Structure 1
């Protein structure tokens, strides 16, 4: 009996000793503070690996080197760690990023005895320094390699018009580690691209600098946690700056994907942590030898769907395989729990299907009603436009009559000469009479054809030249302008592209409304002896890929209290006005052509500004 009891005691002790022999204590020294996303993602990756190894115990010390980074601080930290780690023994020390690694190498012999060190996240590794400290028999590591050299040509392929890249990298020790790779890439592509390199700035300066869209420029963001004054930015502040950028922001890791960055060839930070965890296991099991250093070279091509739409930059066919993030949530994503519940309560599924059919039927009926309302609305808008054109016909008809008067007189005179001349006229003379008559008739035909084309409503959008539309409109009202002593000038000297997409005739109607209003006001000013001669200037130019048309007169302007109501339906400043013309103009420019029309007072008259999108 005693022998059996002794055997059981020895068995329990052996089992306990075996369990102790497999317990492993790991000390992790994190360069940063808790909540710093990069190192938190690395630690999450390590924890995912260690989750399957309950024999491993982790203890984490946070250095907070982003907030405080000085020699005095590290010396105080050394004294604190001496107290914390006194009489403690660890199987492995893990240094997360450069600050922790440099700290361990500097103070290793004061804090530890023979514990091995495994670093992660470094971009540079100096073997000479290890030999000088006598630590070559206890160093392991996982290097992080950012795809800096590969991202610049990737940007150039995805943006064929790219001319300038701005690289952002803060002035930290991490930034120093990335510096050689950045300089190497800049040197390689300096002939084909303008590359600006920023290491010292502030978020406010960067937001202001990148607030203007430019299809020939992009940002390559490496990091920017510390500004020129040493202030530390939080991830949400950096993400806000990236989100506001009017230029696409390419990145090198997964920290800001889905938070404003466009995307790129990214280091998956949590996977870097998992690779670190696997190397920790290998080091503890003696499967690898000291000075075993691997470079983590796993990358994800990821791009933000919303930014692809915003900048119209597409990864395919440049990249054969990539992942899209930030895609709009589908119906099934929004109602996943509901759908799961439906399948759990399958006896009620038939009622749900019937309800869905009823919902679809009601939606189709509702859409039909909405389409009918929309069709009616469009008809009403077209009616208003046509009514306004008819109201303008009376004003331009006198101009057409004047254009016809002279050719009709000429025709009568030629006919009289022909019939009352001698019968001895030659064939050649008769032919000349016929020719002269036909010239005048053709002139009349061209006039009426232009007028008929103008009053015909446009049915589909077309690409047309703004200057050509202006010239055509001016020909229609040429005489009514000329004989009211009004000078009209058109300036397109600052325009490079005047092609727009829209409804040409309706656009001409808008111009006619504005010019006729200016003409009426000028006539009134002349009758009141306030001006001697009227002027209407039309200036057309390009700005920010838009076509701007400014129509200004010298007729005294519009009362300020009436400016805000100028485009309201049935609002008029004329005694006999109908209040439709400018309302219709706003409808055409803004609702039908997606542009903008505004009115203001400038110098000695009113000025109307029309903004339309360019066709490239």
Structure 2
């Protein structure tokens, strides 16, 4: 018994393993080309209805509408050899002439002994199979357009026809049709004028079509994939160009032009080709030898018409064609009533179903409503838990809701906030600026980040960042704007505190600078006092000498007073941004620290690249001078520490120039390079290499330049020199 069960399982597995069939479909053209797509659809539809085996279809496109030469085809053969080297196909289906010719040439090389079915083959010649020893491996469906019957149909439908324009191209299929047209044109040339064209540029062709006599002319549209300039068209693009300017009926030969504007005709059908060849494939899968399946040499063409075009040109086909396929035909009264019963039955069924499931539906809705209420309550608690002030408002700017944090910020309750606008809680300037931002967001559907300062109802100053975005309703309409606020008041105050701390940390250097500044005037005053004393003791003091003494003394005292004034101004924080001169800031820094640098045996040079232009910066002047002072002091101290050769003069070069978007300041010293291990850390807070350093200086320089003035500060080594580069935007960029 166990042996029988094991044998049964193995036998069933063997049967199952052999029920799968692999088919390769090789198209001459490309995916998206209606003819090839319709053949594939018909094949796949037929295969999907086959119950005896699972059929796996692999589809490959040769794309020879766009490229078709011997070198390309040889490359394809090599590619397919590599691609399908390890696969065994039960059957190969090729569509259209290029794939057919390719398979004849490379069958032995690529798919030896594999049966092949073909379809869509123009001018089919059985001799080809005999000559290439493929008679026992290939059969299929020939394709031929019935030109004779289409000419006959046109002449019957248009008995007063005077002009027939035939539009074709120079593709392989086009040439084949052209050969078949010659005897037919000869036969009908005495009945009406026939003009054949396959050598026009598309615009010239449009001109010719637009000039046709609309009362007595007809067009037979064969193919048009390339015009004489080599411009490639899809089948829809080329036909649309002709249809757009045509005022006469257009007949065709292929069904893929139907429903695009042709009247119709006896059409070669891709679907019929695909159905026929796929039915042959099923015969092979059912055990029939391919050599026993005869070639279908008579193409399965169908009379097909577009009702809209028949109606447009008042064409009656009923006397000449029986049971044609007509698309876009409006339903007749009979057909409408024949569907009424089905429709009524469906309505009854639907109503019955609704009655049965109504109670369950109501219960589910109640459950969903409960879940939704719970979710709303959860979202409300979640919103109130978030410490950031949050609000949302409609497109009119009226508040729809907020969290507790926002209500606390404006010192109001939710009920007092809802329905009001920003103008009810903020100053006109702040509210108006935010209204402009909101209007832009509602137009662009983007996000926005902005910053503003305002006083709360308790007269407390707040610095706020607003992050805004547009939200949509479930139906896709714009609901309004949601805003999450970030209170950065403490951060702003902390930064300002750090700036002041940095200034205080540098006061020692400043006092030393003042001492150097006062050194010369004090010596000068001492000499003047001694001189006036000597003159007095010798009774040589004259009124003029006293006057000169007073004048000279006042010059030195005013200079010392100005030094103190500069020192006080430097310590004051800038309250707002303004436009100021780079050269003026550098001169004032030079007056503070210049002599100290000079006495340290350092030559400081200012190089203005834009000599005739006053370079301006929009920002905080005192903070900017603090950055310059910090960088120059650091350079001076480093040079003094490392300069053991007191007779050798060191250098600090300051380059100032204007670029397209920035004013650029470079401070270069030759006091030795910064260790590459730490050069990327020198702007970090509290980072210092000095025993008594605070680590504030360069950190605050970066904060001032990049955060407060929207610029860039960088450092790099240039051999033994250190280069600090400051880039600050022009006013027009900053604003």
The normalised TM-score by structure 2 is: 0.44
Unaligned runs of 5+ in 1: 348-616
- Residue 280 of structure 2 is matched in structure 1 by 279
- Residue 119 of structure 2 is matched in structure 1 by 120
Deviation at 1:16, TM superposition (A): 1.7
Structure 1 Cα separation of the partners of residues 202 and 344 of structure 2: 44
Tell me, yes or no, if structure 1 residue 324 matches structure 2 residue 326. yes
- The 3 A distance-change label for structure 1 pair 117 and 28 is same
Structure 1 Cα separation of the partners of residues 228 and 348 of structure 2: 58
Deviation at 1:136, TM superposition (A): 2.2
- 2:46 aligned to which of 46, 49, 64: 49
Q: Is the 8 A contact 1:242 1:249 kept in 2?
A: no
Q: Is the 8 A contact 1:139 1:291 kept in 2?
A: no
SS in 2 for 1:75: helix
Structure 1 Cα separation of the partners of residues 136 and 11 of structure 2: 32
- The 3 A distance-change label for structure 1 pair 260 and 90 is same
Superposition RMSD in Å = 2.9
* 1:293-308 equivalent positions in 2, closer than 5 A: 293-308=295-310
Deviation at 1:95, TM superposition (A): 0.8
- Residue 241 of structure 2 is matched in structure 1 by 241
Structure 2 Cα separation of the partners of residues 45 and 189 of structure 1: 36
1:412-464: CA deviation from partner (whole Å, max 9, x where unpaired): xxxxxxxxxxxxxxxxxxxxxxxxxxxxxxxxxxxxxxxxxxxxxxxxxxxxx
Structure 2 Cα separation of the partners of residues 222 and 175 of structure 1: 8
Deviation at 1:273, TM superposition (A): 0.7
- Residue 229 of structure 1 is matched in structure 2 by 229
Larger Rg: 2
- Residue 30 of structure 2 is matched in structure 1 by 33
Deviation at 1:251, TM superposition (A): 1.1
* 1:344-423 equivalent positions in 2, closer than 5 A: 344=349
- Residue 18 of structure 2 is matched in structure 1 by 21
Structure 2 Cα separation of the partners of residues 262 and 205 of structure 1: 23
Tell me, yes or no, if structure 1 residue 59 matches structure 2 residue 58. yes
Structure 1 Cα separation of the partners of residues 71 and 165 of structure 2: 35
Structure 2 Cα separation of the partners of residues 78 and 242 of structure 1: 37
- Residue 310 of structure 1 is matched in structure 2 by 312
Q: Is the 8 A contact 2:251 2:263 kept in 1?
A: yes
Per mean C-alpha deviation after superposition, the further-off stretch among 35-44 and 67-76 is 67-76
Deviation at 1:344, TM superposition (A): 4.7
Deviation at 1:296, TM superposition (A): 4.6
- The 3 A distance-change label for structure 1 pair 314 and 41 is same
- The 3 A distance-change label for structure 1 pair 202 and 13 is farther
Q: Is the 8 A contact 2:280 2:293 kept in 1?
A: no
1:535-563: CA deviation from partner (whole Å, max 9, x where unpaired): xxxxxxxxxxxxxxxxxxxxxxxxxxxxx
- The 3 A distance-change label for structure 1 pair 77 and 8 is same
Deviation at 1:74, TM superposition (A): 1.0
- Residue 156 of structure 2 is matched in structure 1 by 157
- Residue 135 of structure 1 is matched in structure 2 by 134
1:577-606: CA deviation from partner (whole Å, max 9, x where unpaired): xxxxxxxxxxxxxxxxxxxxxxxxxxxxxx
* 1:552-591 equivalent positions in 2, closer than 5 A: none
- Residue 11 of structure 1 is matched in structure 2 by 8
- The 3 A distance-change label for structure 1 pair 298 and 72 is closer
Q: Is the 8 A contact 1:151 1:265 kept in 2?
A: yes
1:118-159: CA deviation from partner (whole Å, max 9, x where unpaired): 110012223333333222221111011222110111101111
The normalised TM-score by structure 1 is: 0.52
Structure 1 Cα separation of the partners of residues 10 and 228 of structure 2: 61
- Residue 255 of structure 1 is matched in structure 2 by 256
1:66-124: CA deviation from partner (whole Å, max 9, x where unpaired): 11111121111111111101122111111111111111112222212111211100122
Greater relative contact order (CA < 8 Å, ≥ 6 in sequence):
1
SS in 1 for 2:295: strand
Structure 1 Cα separation of the partners of residues 345 and 224 of structure 2: 43
Tell me, yes or no, if structure 1 residue 179 matches structure 2 residue 178. yes
- The 3 A distance-change label for structure 1 pair 179 and 52 is same
Structure 1 Cα separation of the partners of residues 175 and 259 of structure 2: 27
Deviation at 1:243, TM superposition (A): 3.0
